[in-house]
Amino acid sequence: MMEKQDLVDIARTRMPFGKYAGRMLIDLPEEYLLWFAKQGFPSGRLGQLMAMTLEIKIEGLEGLIKPLKR
C-alpha cells in the first residue's frame, strides 16, 4: 500500500545512476522500469520507489504524481 510520502518521493527523487541519471523517478520510461522488474530493482528505498513507479505507470496514474513535482 502506498502512502502519501511515497507519492511525493516518487515525484521528487532523482534516478542516481544509469542511462537516466538525474531524471525524476516519475519521468523514467516504463520500458526502463520493466527492465529493472525483470533484472531486479535496487535494494532499499530506491528499489521500492521504482517498483511503485512502475505500478503507477502501468495503471496510467502519472497524472496524480506530476503535480507533486517541484
What are the cell numbers at 8? 511525493
pLDDT of 66 strictly over 90: no
What is the residue range of 27's domain?
4-68
pLDDT band for position 59 (cuts 50, 70, 90)? very high
From CA 49, how far away is CA 37, in angstroms rounded?
A: 12
Please state the rounded mean pLDDT for residues 60-64. Answer: 92
Task: Report the predicted TM-score, pTM, of the whole model to 2 decimal places.
Answer: 0.94
From CA 36, how far away is CA 51, in angstroms rounded?
A: 9
Domain count, the chain: 1
Please state the rounded mean pLDDT for residues 21-32. Answer: 97
pLDDT band for position 55 (cuts 50, 70, 90)? very high
**16 touches 46 (CB < 8 A):** yes
pLDDT of 35 strictly over 90: yes
